[in-house]
Homo-oligomer: A and B are copies of this chain.
Amino acid sequence: MYKSNIHYWLALKLVPRLAIHKKLALVDSYGLAALFSSSKKSTSILTSAHNLTPKHLAAFHQPDWQMIDEIINNSMRCYSEIITFDDLVYPYLLKQIYDPPLVIFVQGNKKLLNRKQLAIVGSRSASMNGRETAYEIAQQLVKAGLVVTSGLALGIDAAAHKGALTSRAGTIAVVATGLDKVYPARHRGLAKEIIDNDGAIISEFLPGTSPKAGHFPKRNRIISGLSEGVLVVEAALQSGSLITARCALEQNRDVFSIPSGISNPQAKGCHWLIKQGAKLVEETADIIDELAFIDNSSLHLKQQQKSQLIVNKEIDEKSINNNLCVDGLLASVGFEITPVDKVVFRSKLPIAEVLTRLTMLELSGLVAAVPGGYLRLK
């Protein structure tokens, strides 16, 4: 039976417990289709040179083609296209991150994906003021020719998409579910409006995937990965928006943040980011100037900013330790790889909370997400 490129990329995606960058290294070394050949020669190379386990090999030798056909059919059924990592339409900025999705499901205008984007993210329970700010800045960024990318969540995300829509300009929503399971449900209207106005909704999750706590942080790396920079408008401490900001830093993207009154709890995250070196934004020009500047300037500057942030990180380490150690979750993560279910068991906390807080610890550089679980770093 003929297998398309899409079949193979999906098969690669479905190989369990193998990090994306390792999968990409394999494709790079042997070619995509060759990985799925079960010749003795290829098997011995994969086993010896890449430490692949028998389970990995089984996934390569016997992909579930029927399931893959089904994914392709389901994807078509919700009017989406599958863009593979080697597709020319695959967003070039996203390609550069450490763990780019091997395939993305796209509804709507896929040409938008390679346009220059700025992500706007923030609190789901934002203040009226915060939502107005997100709306206005999105409106102005779109007029300046940028695409606004966000996460289709309540609060700031929705305000940003709506602000972008006022110019009938395309906006990109990156979701953490299958494209047929738009979440929150009350945003199905907004999702339709985005598509109708030449925008796009994208996901790395298979059709049929329901919302799951662990998927949101993964989604966030795509929001920042697509974008030149991330603007955080109102965010509490320990919120998903800070995860997106952390991803942006790791991906060497700019982080922008809006200040607010010091008594506003939804500003704590933004102020924290500014203390860490995020750029304080009072008006849209602050973002546009910076992006224009980056375009013209050398990589050197970015490097400098990065080391500044690393310095800040080091200085701040003690205070972070103070803040985070006390919660006891850190103690549940070992200096050897600790599976998430073990962390849940040890900490006696609900899994959703464990996942959020692990990501916060990761954000603070205290633990690292590794294949098989988490590793305590400090």
Contacts and interface: CB of A to CB of B under 8 A. Distances in A.
A282 B258 contact: no
A253 interface: no
A295 to B, nearest CB: 15
A279 interface: yes
A87 interface: no
Given A259-B274, A260-B260, A271-B282, 13 more contacts: A129-B261, A129-B263, A258-B262, A259-B267, A259-B280, A260-B262, A262-B282, A262-B283, A271-B280, A274-B274, A275-B286, A280-B280, A289-B319
Interface of A: 129, 133, 258-263, 267-268, 271, 274-275, 279-283, 286, 289, 293, 315, 319
Contacts of A258: 262
Nearest to A258: B262
Given A282-B268, A289-B319, A261 B262 contact: no
Nearest to A264: B261
Nearest first, the 6 A-B pairs at minimum CB distance are A259-B259, A262-B282, A274-B280, A275-B280, A271-B282, A260-B261
Contacts of A267: 259
Contacts of A279: 275
5 contacts: A133-B262, A262-B281, A262-B282, A280-B280, A289-B319
* A262, A268, A283, A286 interface centre (most CB from chain B within 10 Å): A262
Nearest to A289: B319
A258 B133 CA distance: 20
A87 to B, nearest CB: 38
Contacts of A280: 259, 271, 274-275, 280
A222 B263 CA distance: 31
Contacts of A271: 259, 280, 282
A261 B282 CA distance: 9
A271 B315 CA distance: 22
Contacts of A281: 262
Contacts of A262: 133, 258-260, 281-283
